[in-house]
Amino acid sequence: MKHYFSTFDNIVLTHSDMEYGDGGRKVRVYFERPGKDTGSTEFDFAEGDIPSFEFRKSYGFSQSELLRLQRYLRNNSFLIWEYAQNGGGQKCLAS
């Protein structure tokens, strides 16, 4: 992942640049938070993409948490999509 997007409830969301392929355009997204065990180096994560809003891989998030992340992703997809097309949020905000 390349671009930081947001942090909420100690969960960080980052995203890739726009990717072009046979299936059309997509943006990979990655949610991450520190693991629940203090002192652990493990992280909980969920990896998916826009526009499918499906998670391909996840670890440590419950099903209800994944649904909440999916809703957050849908609600912010327009901005993430825009940032991914233009090189990230910092570049978009600087223009």
Q: Which residues contact 34 (CB under 8 A, 6 or more apart)?
A: 10, 40, 43, 44
Q: Would you state the pLDDT for residue 29?
A: 96
Q: Would you state the pLDDT for residue 95?
A: 45
Each residue of 16-36: pLDDT tens digit? 999 998 889 999 999 999 987
Tell me the C-alpha distance between 79 and 71, whole Å. 14
Residue ranges of domains in the chain: 3-94
Q: Would you state the pLDDT for residue 40?
A: 67
Average model confidence (pLDDT) across the chain: 87
Tell me the C-alpha distance between 34 and 39, whole Å. 10
For residue 75, the one-letter residue type is N
Tell me the C-alpha distance between 47 and 66, whole Å. 10
Token digits for 77?
A: 């997809």
